[in-house]
Every structure is written in C-alpha cells, then in structure tokens.
C-alpha cells in the first residue's frame, strides 16, 4: 500500500496499490469546513491567531446547517479574548444575528424544536462570552434579537436570553453611572 497523500483540504487520502481510493483517515468527513477548522483551531478549541479570523468569518458567512453553526459558535466561544473583540467589529456578529433570525423562523415553521433550541442556546452562550460594549449593541440589532428570545417556548433558551439581556443592561447602567460621574466632575471643575 502507498503512503497517505495529503491534499489541499487537509483530508488524508489513502490509495491501494492499484490507485483505488480508500476511506479517508479522518473518518471520511471530507468537508471543506471541517478541513478549514482543522487548520485554524488552537489548543483551546478556538481561534488564537488573528490571521485565522477572516477564515472563521468566511465559514460563518457560508450556508451551514444548524449543527455546523453550533460548531462555529463553539469555536468563537473558545477563541481568545482578542479574537472575540475583533469578531465584534467584523462580520461574525452579523452572521450570528442572521442565524438567530433563521432559527426563530424555523421554529415557527415547525422545525424539530430540539435542533432550534440547541442552536439558540449555543448562540446565547457564545454571545455571553463576547466582550460586548454599548457601541456594538447600538450599532447592531443583536440586543433586540436576543430580547425577543426571552419569550421562547424552550425554558433554557428563554432563561439564557434573560440572563444575557440583564448582563447587557448592567453594561448600560454602568455606562450611565460613569457618564453621570464624569459630568459631576466637570461641574465641580467649573465651580
């Protein structure tokens, strides 16, 4: 038998002595998405090198099933804080917002509820792990989208959404408190 040959998609293919293709050693996944993930994942299971963020965003923009969307959310959740901060400025957040909207529509169309609930839970866990700030919440519609999930029939989704909305409200309250403190300092300086 010949030695394994590695192709561009990181699949390891094996051929017998006649050149007949045999089962790939990675379990036959063959998926370009899986191959791309194999190249970019760090030891944490997330992206740790900023050069790989555009590839992650590109994968998120491609049509994916709920299972792969959940995997991509986990990758983002496990990424370094620097990658997460950059992802908020890039395309990743818009993709996540689109996935939530698609999942809500699928739930309304009687998709299997556990599939939708699992994806929404992954979305909410991922969003909770991101270093969200008020300008990003204002710039995107993600706050409204997550707020709408508080009314989901799935109790776990509704609970996670409520927790996340409360976390983001604290951001707003902290920001308002800091702004009030700052204006008081300015008033004191004027006196």
Tokens at residue 177, please? 């408190």
> How deeply is 127 buried, as exposed, middle or buried, from its count of CB atoms within 10 A (0-12, 13-18, 19+)?
buried
Structural domain boundaries enclosing 118: 40-190
Q: What is the pLDDT of residue 112?
A: 64
Q: What is the pLDDT of residue 178?
A: 64
CA angle (81, 29, 33) in 5-degree steps: 40
**Residues 147 and 87 occupy one common structural domain:** yes
**Residues 26 and 52 occupy one common structural domain:** no
- The domain tally of the chain equals 2
Q: Profile the chain (191 residues) by mean pLDDT over runs of 10 residues.
A: 34 36 42 87 92 94 90 94 92 91 81 80 94 90 92 92 94 72 53 53
Q: What is the pLDDT of residue 57?
A: 94
């Amino acid at each position: 038998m010949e030695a394994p040959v590695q192709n561009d998609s990181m699949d390891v293919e094996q051929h017998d002595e006649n050149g007949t293709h045999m089962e790939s050693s990675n379990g036959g996944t063959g998926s370009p998405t899986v191959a791309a993930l194999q190249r970019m994942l760090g030891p944490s299971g997330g992206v740790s090198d900023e050069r790989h963020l555009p590839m992650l965003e590109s994968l998120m923009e491609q049509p994916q099933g709920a299972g792969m969307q959940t995997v991509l959310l986990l990758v983002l959740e496990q990424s370094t804080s620097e990658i997460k901060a950059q992802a908020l400025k890039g395309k990743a957040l818009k993709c996540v917002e689109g996935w939530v909207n698609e999942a809500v529509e699928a739930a309304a169309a009687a998709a299997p509820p556990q599939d939708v609930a699992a994806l929404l839970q992954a979305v909410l866990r991922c969003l909770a792990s991101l270093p969200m700030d008020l300008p990003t919440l204002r710039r995107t519609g993600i706050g409204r989208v997550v707020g709408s999930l508080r009314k989901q029939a799935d109790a776990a989704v509704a609970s996670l959404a409520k927790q996340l909305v409360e976390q983001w409200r604290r951001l707003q309250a902290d920001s308002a408190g800091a702004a009030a403190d700052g204006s008081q300092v300015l008033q004191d300086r004027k006196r």
